[in-house]
């Protein structure tokens, strides 16, 4: 369905009274913008996605307050035009603040901060650490400033949650000058997701005392984190989101000498190797089929050997990483699965836990089978040594919460 923003809402007659004091959350990627307008009690929201930006197929997919799905074509539209259209769609709801997901905050930011000239300059400067994402994040901030110059804005950094990691976890064993002068260290990502699900697990567990969680955010991008008493103590991603787990198209950990080996043997450029490791590897590279686990699982069930190997490698590497991250925790309460794969693939959760065979984990098969499609719950047996949870992530809700806290609106 295609419509202009004005026509859509003139005809829609949506009741806006139920969306009280909403916060707009913007997540500007390199070629997309995900957005959500969330009420102050987090109970009501409008969501949407601008995708394929810069291409003839650029469009905005918008879900209204009453659940109606709209599609608005913006051929060739880039971030600025898309943001203008999104703000037009939402202006009638009178949002009171805007929270931006910003991928990299370097080592300067350990919490959400209100946008001022210095903060915006820092977001732009840190593009050296996130060249695909931070420039797009800055565009989102500037687009709102241009239309709503007095609107309070907050940036919530992906890296901020992991600033509690100790040096033993975040430093690389490299010359000190690289850390001190060039900020080469492990930063971690998916911070809002790991923060949300670990906090939620602590809310709903019956376990007493201080809680230690291994959180596994598994989707097209994947990362795992050790969280103790609400603080990240170690995580799988590093200087960039490429380090760590095998992902949809990213390799995760490989031998650091792979670059020079491929240069010498195949005369590949650094740019080509970087593209290969980020966009042509992982589940896609091993299966030769897709980065979508559902497609790979279907092929594996039909006897496709490379698809089966891709699944085995994915689960083995997640299980191995979770086991190693347990070393960071003074106490281990349980494991939390989230993300598109973590929330929906029953067999993947099972196979990951089978890798951790020495931990005394016992799975309740029936409970596990029911935890798909956004359902939250535990799936450990009563005699399991660790709790097992599936908690659907809510990064937008977490960003809205941190935005309100940064502006003292709670």
Mean pLDDT for the stretch of residues 92-96: 92
Q: What contacts 244, CB < 8 A, 6 or more positions away?
A: 222, 223, 224, 235, 236, 237, 238, 252, 253, 321
Confidence of residue 6 (pLDDT cuts 50, 70, 90): very low
In percent, the amount of the chain with pLDDT more than 70 equals: 96
pLDDT average, residue stretch 24-53? 91
* pLDDT tens column, 127-168: 888 887 899 899 899 989 998 999 999 999 999 999 999 999
pLDDT at 4 over 60: no
Average pLDDT over residues 271-284: 96
Which pLDDT belongs to residue 409? Answer: 86
Q: Is 282 annotated as a binding residue?
A: no
pLDDT tens profile 302-339: 999 999 999 999 999 999 999 999 999 999 999 999 99
Q: Are 214 and 352 in contact (CB under 8 A)?
A: no
State the Cα–Cα distance between residues 261 and 250, nearest whole angstrom: 19
pLDDT, tens digit (0-9, with 9 covering 90-100), for 190-215:
999 999 999 999 999 999 999 999 99
Confirm whether residue 101 is marked as ligand binding. Answer: yes
CATH superfamily of 198-395: ATPase, nucleotide binding domain (3.30.420.40)
Is 41 noted as a catalytic residue in this protein? Answer: no
CB 388 within 8 A of CB 75: no
Q: Which two tokens stand for residue 363?
A: 């799975």
13 has binding-site annotation: no
Asked if 219 contacts 213 with a C-beta cutoff of 8 angstroms, the reply is no
CB 52 within 8 A of CB 59: yes
CATH code of the domain occupying 5-157? 3.30.420.40
DSSP 8-76: HHHHH----TTS-S-EEEEEE-SS-EEEEEE-TTSS-EEEEEEESTTSTT-EEEEE-TTS-EEEEE-TT
Check whether 344 is labelled as a binding-site residue.
yes
Q: Is 34 annotated as a binding residue?
A: yes
Residue 339 falls in which region: left (phi positive, over 0), alpha (psi -120 to 50) or beta:
left
pLDDT of residue 1: 32
pLDDT band at 5 (very low <50, low <70, confident <90, very high): very low
Return the pLDDT at 323.
98
Residue 268 has pLDDT above 80, yes or no: yes
Active-site option among 158, 253, 255, 272: 158
Residue 117 assigned as binding residue: no
Q: Which pLDDT does position 38 carry in this prediction?
A: 96
Per-residue pLDDT tens over the stretch 350-400: 999 999 999 999 999 999 999 999 999 999 999 999 999 999 999 999 999
Q: Which DSSP symbol is given to 165?
A: -
Residue pLDDT, tens place only, 9-31: 333 444 444 689 999 999 988 78
Q: Is the dihedral of CA 296, 302, 307, 308 positive or negative?
A: positive
Residue 53 φ then ψ, to 5°? -65, 135
The per-residue DSSP string of 50-69 comes to: EESTTSTT-EEEEE-TTS-E
Residue 101 has pLDDT above 60, yes or no: yes
Question: How many angstroms separate the CA atoms of 160 and 149, rounded?
Answer: 26
- Tell me if residue 136 falls in helix, strand or coil: helix
At 131 the pLDDT is 82
pLDDT (mean) for 256-269: 97
Start and end residues for every CATH 3.30.420.40 domain found in the chain: 5-157, 198-395
Contacts 24+ apart (CB under 8 A), 147-150: 147/84, 147/87, 148/87, 148/98
The pTM score is: 0.90
């Amino acid at each position: 369905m295609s419509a202009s923003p004005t026509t859509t809402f003139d005809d829609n007659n949506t009741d806006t009274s139920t969306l009280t004091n909403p916060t707009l959350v913007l997540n500007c990627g390199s070629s997309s913008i995900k957005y959500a307008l969330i009420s102050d009690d987090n109970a009501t929201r409008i969501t949407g996605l601008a995708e394929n930006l810069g291409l003839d197929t650029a469009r905005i997919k918008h879900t209204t307050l009453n659940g109606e799905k709209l599609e608005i074509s913006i051929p060739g539209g880039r971030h600025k035009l898309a943001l203008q259209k999104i703000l037009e769609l939402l202006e009638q709801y009178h949002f009171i603040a805007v929270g931006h997901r910003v991928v990299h905050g370097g080592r300067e930011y350990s919490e959400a901060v209100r946008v001022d000239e210095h903060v915006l300059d820092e977001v732009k400067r840190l593009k050296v650490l996130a060249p695909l994402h931070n420039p797009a994040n800055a565009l989102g901030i500037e687009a709102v400033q241009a239309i709503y110059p007095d609107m309070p804005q907050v940036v919530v950094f992906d890296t901020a949650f992991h600033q509690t990691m100790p040096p033993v976890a975040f430093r690389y064993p490299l010359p000190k000058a690289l850390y001190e002068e060039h900020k080469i260290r492990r930063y971690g990502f998916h911070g809002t997701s790991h923060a949300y699900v670990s906090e939620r697990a602590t809310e709903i567990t019956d376990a007493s005392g201080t809680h230690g969680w291994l959180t596994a955010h598994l989707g097209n991008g994947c990362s795992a984190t050790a969280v103790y008493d609400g603080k990240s103590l170690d995580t799988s991603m590093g200087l960039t989101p490429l380090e760590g787990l095998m992902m949809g198209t990213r390799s995760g950990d490989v031998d650091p000498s792979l670059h020079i080996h491929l240069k010498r043997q195949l005369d590949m450029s650094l740019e080509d190797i970087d593209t290969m490791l980020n966009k042509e590897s992982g589940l896609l590279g091993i299966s030769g089929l897709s980065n979508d686990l559902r497609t790979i699982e279907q092929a594996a069930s039909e006897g496709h050997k490379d698809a089966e190997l891709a699944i085995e490698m994915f689960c083995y590497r997640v299980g191995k990483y979770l086991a190693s991250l347990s070393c960071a925790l003074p106490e281990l309460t349980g494991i939390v699965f989230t993300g598109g794969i973590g929330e929906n693939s029953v067999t993947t959760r099972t196979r990951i836990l089978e890798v951790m065979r020495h931990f005394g984990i016992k799975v309740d098969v029936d409970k596990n089978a029911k935890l798909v499609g956004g359902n939250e719950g535990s799936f450990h047996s009563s005699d399991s040594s660790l709790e097992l949870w599936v908690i659907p992530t809510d990064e937008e809700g977490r960003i809205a919460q941190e935005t309100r806290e940064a502006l003292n609106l709670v």
